[in-house]
């Protein structure tokens, strides 16, 4: 497995793969790899001949008050995980490689970056879009794989690639969960024992909404009330947002008439003082069943395929 530290080395590796006729895949990460990241590498391996993983804690997506300095970092452990997962190369640059002195160019996806996480973290998607654009331009992969846990990020990247005419396929891979339903995240490491128990409320809220839709509920306000009541069972959980959105445009929807994104962000107190808060996100695309269709004396139920 090759360890690439500079953009020049990255380009040389990419050019060599293309020159040999190999299809390449990129898996962008911020390190602190867990089983969810490993699943992205596996998906990339299924779609390409050579897999590149980037490990870069992107300073441009952190506000001054956020956790850039304390964000978990373990390059040696990450390299071992990449090697075990079958990655062919890892790009782990210093910040100056991607943001050279005097850098002043930014990429924004104007509408998709505004709702959901963009509401409480208005700086975030400019940083994400900029660094992803840089990685895609420098690495020139045929395909790039992103996790669906960061659903809004995935849609932003898809739009970015289309708008900038980048010759790359953007693929979303399913959320990987702990046995108790908590979506895997590098920030789970911040949770103390009490917050870790309360964090289960996110997946329970998604389950409750999905059950309500399966029972026939379609009204967005009613479904969101169900979600808020479920999250309220965790007394220390503070809702950042709980919203129903169109999965493609991220526009708010009044009713769940077709596949609909339920997106959640919740903050939980942790640490000895309980004054620090960890922000966790989760989501699910709710897929209502179509009405029964009668045909003669028989009827059948059609469902929207998953």
Beta bridge pairs of residue 245: 252, 261
Query: Is residue 258 within 8 Å of residue 288, measured between CB atoms?
Result: yes
Residues 6 or more apart whose CB falls under 8 angstroms from that of 215 comprise none
| Catalytic residue (one of 34, 37, 65, 123) | 37
DSSP labels, 43-80: HHHHH-SEEEEEE---GGG--TTSSTTTS---HHHHHH
Residues 6 or more apart whose CB falls under 8 angstroms from that of 197 comprise none
Angle at 151 between CA 150 and CA 156, to 5 degrees: 100
| 3-class secondary structure, 8 | helix
Neighbours of 284 (CB within 10 A): 22
Query: Is residue 48 within 8 Å of residue 65, measured between CB atoms?
Result: no
136, exposed or middle or buried, with CB in 10 Å at 0-12, 13-18, 19+? buried
Long-range pairs of 243-249 with CB within 8 A, sequence gap ≥ 24: 243/115, 243/116, 244/220, 244/286, 245/115, 245/116, 247/151, 247/155, 247/285, 248/155, 249/111, 249/112
194, exposed or middle or buried, with CB in 10 Å at 0-12, 13-18, 19+? middle
Active site residue 37: yes
Active site residues per annotation: 37
């Amino acid at each position: 497995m090759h360890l690439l530290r500079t953009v020049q080395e990255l380009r040389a590796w990419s050019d060599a793969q293309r020159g040999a006729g190999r299809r390449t895949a990129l898996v962008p990460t911020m390190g602190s790899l867990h089983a969810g990241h490993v699943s992205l590498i596996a998906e990339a391996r299924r779609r390409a001949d050579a897999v590149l993983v980037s490990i870069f804690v992107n300073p441009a997506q952190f506000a001054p008050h956020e956790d850039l300095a304390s964000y978990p970092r373990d390059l040696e452990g990450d390299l071992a995980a990449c090697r075990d997962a079958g990655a062919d190369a890892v790009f782990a640059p210093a910040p100056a490689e991607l943001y050279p002195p005097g850098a002043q160019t930014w990429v924004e996806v104007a509408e998709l970056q505004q709702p959901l996480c963009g509401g409480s973290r208005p700086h975030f998607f400019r940083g994400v879009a900029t660094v992803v654009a840089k990685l895609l331009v420098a690495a020139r992969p045929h395909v790039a794989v992103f996790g669906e846990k960061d659903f809004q990020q995935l849609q932003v990247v898809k739009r970015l690639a289309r708008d900038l005419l980048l010759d790359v396929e953007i693929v979303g891979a399913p959320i990987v969960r702990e046995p108790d339903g908590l979506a895997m995240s590098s920030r789970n490491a911040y949770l103390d024992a009490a917050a870790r128990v309360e964090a289960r409320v996110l997946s329970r809220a998604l389950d409750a909404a999905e059950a309500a839709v399966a029972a026939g509920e379609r009204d967005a306000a009613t479904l969101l009330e169900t979600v808020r009541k479920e999250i309220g069972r965790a007394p220390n959980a503070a809702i950042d947002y709980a919203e129903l959105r169109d999965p493609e445009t991220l526009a708010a929807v009044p009713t769940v008439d077709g596949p609909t994104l339920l997106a959640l962000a919740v903050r939980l107190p942790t640490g000895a003082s309980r004054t620090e808060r960890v922000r966790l996100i989760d989501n699910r695309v709710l897929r209502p069943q179509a009405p029964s269709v009668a045909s003669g004396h028989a009827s059948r139920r059609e469902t929207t395929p998953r």
